[in-house]
Amino acid sequence: DAGITQSPRHKVTETGTPVTLRCHQTENHRYMYWYRQDPGHGLRLIHYSYGVKDTDKGEVSDGYSVSRSKTEDFLLTLESATSSQTSVYFCAISESTGEGETQYFGPGTRLLVL
């Protein structure tokens, strides 16, 4: 257990509404990531963070923004939700061992945009 929680776990919203998903970690990891999971695509990286206030885009960042004002929290915002953003969203942290880095994932947030 890498101490990662996500909130909310489920959300239904309407097109055009802003939505914020929260990822919280308790173990002071520097790197955090947001992925989305859609059938047939595996998981795809939306945004990631390499420290407080340090973020960068992933491969599917359009329509999303992120913020990291504290080490433990990484927020993902859908500025104006669209039906194409209906997905399962996973947060991850990267844990470093002597041999390299391994990502561990939160439980996921299931988002439905109507």
Partner 1 sequence: AQKVTQAQTEISVVEKEDVTLDCVYETRDTTYYLFWYKQPPSGELVFLIRRNSFDEQNEISGRYSWNFQKSTSSFNFTITASQVVDSAVYFCALPKQGNKLTFGGGTRVLVKP
Where does this chain bind partner 1 (CB under 8 A)?
31, 33, 35, 40-45, 48, 50, 56, 58, 88, 90, 92, 94, 99-105, 107-108
Residues 6+ apart with CB under 8 A from 40: none
Q: Minimum distance between the CB of residue 30 and partner 1, rounded to whole angstroms?
A: 11
| Shorter beta-carbon distance to partner 1: residue 77 or 94 | 94
Q: What's the min distance (Å) between Cβ of 17 and partner 1?
A: 24
Find, among 57, 68, 105, 112, the residue nearest to 88 by Cα.
112
Task: Report how far apart, in Å, the C-alpha atoms of 99 and of each of 1, 29, 79, 95, 107 are.
Answer: 19, 17, 39, 11, 26
Q: How far is the CB of 12 from partner 1 (least distance, A)?
A: 17
Nearer to partner 1, 41 or 70 (CB): 41
Provide the minimum distance between the beta carbon of 52 and partner 1 in the complex, in angstroms, as a whole number: 16
Nearer to partner 1, 84 or 102 (CB): 102
When the beta carbons of 63 and 108 are compared against partner 1, the nearer one is 108
- How far is the C-alpha of 98 from the C-alpha of 76, rounded, in Å? 30
